[in-house]
Amino acid sequence: MDDELKVLVVGCGAMSNKWLGVAEKELRIVGLVDIQRENAERRAKEYGIRNERVFEDLDAALKSTRPDMVFDCTVPEAHYEVTMKALSAGCHVLSEKPLADSMEHAKEMVDKARRTGKLYAVMQNRRYLATAPATTEFINSGVIGDITTINVDFYMGAHFKGFRTEMKHPLLLDMAIHTFDQARQLTAADPLEVYCKAFNPKNSWYAGNASAMCVFQMTNDIVFNYRGSWCSEGYITPWAGSWRIIGTRGTVLWAEGTPRAEVVDYEEDGLRCRMKERKPDKPPLKVTGHEACIKEFIECVGRGGRPQTVGEDNIKSLAMVFGAIESAEAGHPVSIV
Ligand SMILES: NC(=O)c1ccc[n+]([C@@H]2O[C@H](COP(=O)([O-])OP(=O)(O)OC[C@H]3O[C@@H](n4cnc5c(N)ncnc54)[C@H](O)[C@@H]3O)[C@@H](O)[C@H]2O)c1
């Protein structure tokens, strides 16, 4: 009996290479879909997939290949249509971030997954950075006491071509979702309110706002402060950003590598203190990024369970993005429900 799970990959642009590399090891790739046929044909050639398995039309591909799951690697504006069609066809869906291009679409997609009983999750590969789980556990061990404040800087001079250059809020919609989701991973706190100033610096090569500063009020009395830019030249930060997490007894610094904490150690009279350095015990992940997220999803499809980036939870990270955009456009703080 053939018990290999079948996957249809939709969207064969830049990111699809990462997905196909994992898919060819773990699943049977039954088809490739792209509205620009030449993109799908190029990937088909690279991955030894026969030409009759290449489609321009998703409906035809779903009908012909009957996959167990769909990997959606299309641009953000297409995620709604692809996911809704795939769920309707009885497929599980793992989609590239961001979940959707609007909260209305996102709610419909999450609701559709609930009604069809299919698994629907989103690629948030930063959760699977080698030291992200160790950093989360380190913070949750209470090493710095209760978290009060998180500051993250993300500064890149990214000279992209393609869909980002035309988006109204390329930083917030396409990139900040990673950092917002990671803040939720690290703290287990959820957003309540945001004030955002989004702007486009005069040297920017983007049509929309390439820079933003956001202050979120999170649950558990945490204030999360995000500063970022896609068009900042010089002294760039790591892709995952540069993090300062402040607690009642100390501070954790993290920037993709091993996090470190400086923790206050009070003397008995409570007046003098000295600082001690601490590092986490948990080892880094061996399988990371896209591969780890895709494998977790496949495991949950096969054996049951909920991946950590399941749509009904990930929609809270997306709400941070749309809350920030709404606040930037309104010019005042907005609540996030
Ligand atoms: N997780 C990450 O680290 C990461 C990094 C970069 C991009 N992304 C995300 O990956 C997604 C794709 O980005 P990319 O850089 O590969 O973009 P891309 O433009 O290189 O590729 C997108 C492909 O989707 C195709 N497409 C568009 N609409 C379609 C539709 N309705 N049906 C079928 N195909 C369609 C396009 O023709 C194109 O080939 C985006 O959502 C982006 O935000 C994620």
Domain of 138: which CATH number? 3.30.360.10
- Residue 165's pLDDT band (boundaries 50, 70, 90)? confident
- Take residue 18 and report the two structure tokens written for it: 């990462």
Find out whether the beta carbon of 34 lies less than 6 Å from any atom of ligand 1. yes
Domain that holds residue 75: 6-122
The reply to whether ligand 1 has any atom less than 6 angstroms from the CB of 158 is no
Among positive and negative, which fits the CA dihedral 180, 181, 184, 186? negative
pLDDT digits (tens, 9 = 90+) for 40-88: 999 999 999 999 999 999 999 999 999 999 999 999 999 999 999 999 9
Query: Using a 6 Å cutoff on CB, does residue 270 contact ligand 1?
Result: no
- Asked if residue 50 belongs to a domain, the reply is yes
Which is more confidently placed, 276 or 117?
117
Rounded-to-integer distance, Cα 72 and Cα 291, Å: 15
Checking if the pLDDT of 269 tops 80, the result is no
- Write the residue with the smallest CA distance to atom 33 of ligand 1: 34
Residues 95 and 196 in one domain: no
Q: Model confidence at 270, in pLDDT bands (50, 70, 90)?
A: low
Contact between 33 and 8 under an 8 Å Cβ cutoff? The reply is yes
Mutate to test the pocket of ligand 1, among 8, 9, 12, 15 (most ligand atoms within 8 A of CB): 15
**Domain count along the chain:** 2
pLDDT tens by residue, 174-218: 899 999 999 999 999 999 999 999 999 999 999 999 999 999 999
Cα atoms in the 13 Å half-sphere on the side-chain side of 254: 30
From 122, 152, 181, give the residue that closes a domain: 122
Residue whose CA is at the smallest distance from ligand 1 atom 7? 15
Give the residue from 122, 154, 185 where a domain finishes: 122
Lookup: tokens for 233:
């030249």
Q: For residue 48, is it within any domain?
A: yes
163 lines ligand 1 (CB under 6 A): yes
User: What percent of the chain clears pLDDT 70, i.e. is strictly above it?
Assistant: 98
Q: Identify whether residues 93 and 187 lie together within a single domain.
A: no
User: Are residues 186 and 116 both part of a single domain?
Assistant: no
Query: Is the shortest distance between the CB of 33 and ligand 1 below 6 Å?
Result: yes
Q: How far from 190 is each of 183, 193, 226, 316, 320, CA to CA, in Å?
A: 9, 10, 15, 7, 9
Same domain, 116 and 160: no
E strand or H helix at 254: strand 250-254
Q: Which of 58, 93, 122 is the last residue of a domain?
A: 122
316 pLDDT higher than 80: yes
In a domain, 302, yes or no: no
